[in-house]
A and B are shown apart, each in its own frame.
Chain A
Amino acid sequence: MSELSLTQLRKSFGETEIIKGINLDVSEGEFVVFVGPSGCGKSTLLRMIAGLEDVSDGEIQIGGKVVNDLAPVKRGIAMVFQSYALYPHMTVFENIAFPLRVERLPNDEVNERVDRAAKVLQLDARLEQRPGTLSGGQRQRVAIGRAIVRQPRIFLFDEPLSNLDAALRSEMRIELMELHKKLGSTMIYVTHDQVEAMTMADKIVVMNTGVIEQIGSPLELYHKPDNRFVAGFIGSPKMNFINGTCTAADGKKITIDLGELGNVVLERNSTAQVGQRVTIGIRPEHLALNEGDFILNLVPRIVEHLGIHAIVYADQPDGEVFTGMFEGDPAVKEGTPVKIGFNAIDTHLFDADGMAVY
């Protein structure tokens, strides 16, 4: 049985529809990440699940029960906010204990539950401090502690790491994943950072303009994106897209004319694209210098040497940027033409509507 299920969920603010019919099933214990560019509706969707936003149409079920009209506390969820939303006038202990105080639990139980949460989050030594004296990571943990003590069915995280600096962010990412293992609860996590999504999720939900573009495991999304949007969103640096025209297809092979860059032949059993404008996609990390099924002649404009790899930016004939990532310290100079090669097997093909062709 699914822990959370959304059916044809819609949300409008006045005339504008923000969430346009979302269907989603989340099973117990899953770590699900909603990812998408800002304004795609991912936070609104999370707030709808939390009960902070009304549902315009559709259904939210938690544990098999429709919760559309239930207050957040009755839904069995707990939420961690982007700004942590700690109460500055209360100690860490009272912050964590807040939900239990609301429930009017006896003092012994409050103490016991807060202590347990504090141990899990290594906050034991800080219980008497105020949030103002804590570092960003510690505040984050207090906010998580306040969610844990409620023992909710589902944890909701709204961009919890976006206020932290890069080093702390990767540290907290690992802590959150360990916490998920330890508690085994269902977690739904919203972020605009695809790295967070890729590293943490069991299941990624890629959203754009109020609809789900694709649902899948991180590697599914990486290797088999359903459309151009997902292909471009997942992966860093971004996938390269080269526009071309499909000139021939025989049910086994498909030929694409890339203009000045030459022809590419891919193995696809589709023939519907003949004569269409199509796009091929190739990830920067799948490129090699001077070798591969196809070779592109490009002039690097900027080269970034990062030690472990180098990132090369070049212009395609139509002005689009082409990015390459090569291991180590390759012999590439700005302004000197290079041969960049790639293999047919790594190449993605998208039809005129941006849908992937496999």
Chain B
Amino acid sequence: MSNKPMIDRYKWYEVVGIYAGIALFLFFVLAPFIEGFMVSLKPLSALFSSPYSFWPKNGSLTAYFTMWESVPGFWRYIANSMFISSVATIVVLILVVPAAYAFARFPFPGRGALLGAFLAVNMFSGAVLLIPLFRLMRSLGLLNTYFAMIVPGVAFLIPTAIWLLRTYMMRIPRELDEAAWVDGASRLYTLRRVILPIAMPGIIVVAITTFIGAYAQQFIFALTFNSKTEFMPLPIGLFAYFGRQEVVWNELMAASFVGITPVLILIVFLQRYLVAGLTAGAVKQ
């Protein structure tokens, strides 16, 4: 007899079905990674051999060393990526925390309309607005700067962040604000001493999703607004492996994996906050 509670018991074919479903979706998610990793292990010549073999014969990690030589500035792209995403995240947080508090607590004229507008902005992908943004950046003389890659990104990340954090803050009982107000605390004091610490799990969630968002969207902004090699973030930097004659596929794949490693490590460490924050109920009284 299983000692699991009734609600957690499944028939054997249900268990098989569940795992088969998971395996199907995981395959689609992970297959590119697996193939990419295999490619990174193979010598370039083996990549175009026929018949194609999935498993690398005489595979080695050589590409992970030669990639640094073929594109000497590669570490710079990783750093740029991290820099752009980090700055974007910090700017978003500075702007969004007070905004979310205001949206959660103060009834002011136009609050609903503004929230709706933020939601509407969310429905446009940045790509739709690239041309106008490009013209704007050009007339302001901001092309080929970090600024051009960070600010549009921030603008597109703010709506989601506000909605996420506002929802979280609305779950903090209003009586806490009132108690602080009765005790003489100003709005800002209350925000700093009462609301911020309690909303910390929510803020961390917003920080992580914003960081991931900034990391993912920088490709399109960097591609359009920047042509300076030294400012390039990782996704653009990878183009350096596209040579005049041939694409150095194995080094390209190796570089991709090296490039995402820092973020991967970061996410692994922060994911418990992510889960905790997304599932946290109302503040326990």
Q: Do A and B associate with each other?
A: yes
A-side residues, CB < 8 A to B, are: 50-52, 71-73, 77-79, 81-89, 98-99, 101-103, 131-132, 139, 146, 150
Q: Which residues of chain A are near B193, meaning CB under 8 Å? A: 101
Q: Chain B CB within 10 Å — which of A52, A85, A139 has the most?
A: A85
Q: Which residues of chain B are near A89, meaning CB under 8 Å? A: 197-198
Does B285 contact A73, Cβ atoms closer than 8 Å?
Answer: no
Q: Which residues of chain A are near B184, meaning CB under 8 Å? A: 71-73, 99, 102-103
Q: Which residues of chain B are near A98, meaning CB under 8 Å? A: 180, 183, 185
Does B285 contact A52, Cβ atoms closer than 8 Å?
Answer: no
Does A79 contact B179, Cβ atoms closer than 8 Å?
Answer: yes
Does B178 contact A52, Cβ atoms closer than 8 Å?
Answer: yes
CB of A273 to closest CB in B, whole Å = 49
- Name the prevailing secondary structure of the B interface residues: helix
Q: Which residues of chain B are near A86, meaning CB under 8 Å? A: 285
Does B198 contact A51, Cβ atoms closer than 8 Å?
Answer: no
Interface range on chain B (Cβ under 8 Å from partner): 10 to 19
Map CB proximity to A onto B177-219 as digits: 1 under 8 Å, 0 otherwise: 0111111110001000110011000000000000000000000
- Given A85-B173, A87-B176, do A150 and B285 touch, yes or no (CB 8 Å)? no
Does A87 contact B183, Cβ atoms closer than 8 Å?
Answer: no
A79-B178 Cα distance, complex, nearest whole Å = 10
Choose among A82, A88, A99 the residue that contacts B183 (Cβ–Cβ < 8 A): A99
Q: Which residues of chain B are near A102, meaning CB under 8 Å? A: 180, 183-185, 189
CB of B138 to closest CB in A, whole Å = 48
Q: Which residues of chain B are near A132, meaning CB under 8 Å? A: 284
**Quick one: closest A residue to B196, CB to CB?**
A89
Q: In the complex, given contacts A101-B193, A139-B285, what are 20 additional A-B residue pairs having Cβ atoms less than 8 angstroms apart?
A: A71-B181, A72-B181, A72-B184, A73-B183, A79-B182, A83-B173, A83-B285, A84-B285, A85-B173, A85-B175, A86-B285, A88-B283, A88-B285, A98-B185, A99-B184, A102-B185, A102-B189, A131-B285, A146-B183, A150-B183
Q: Which residues of chain A are near B178, meaning CB under 8 Å? A: 52, 79, 81, 85
CB of A100 to closest CB in B, whole Å = 9
Q: Which residues of chain B are near A81, meaning CB under 8 Å? A: 175, 178-179
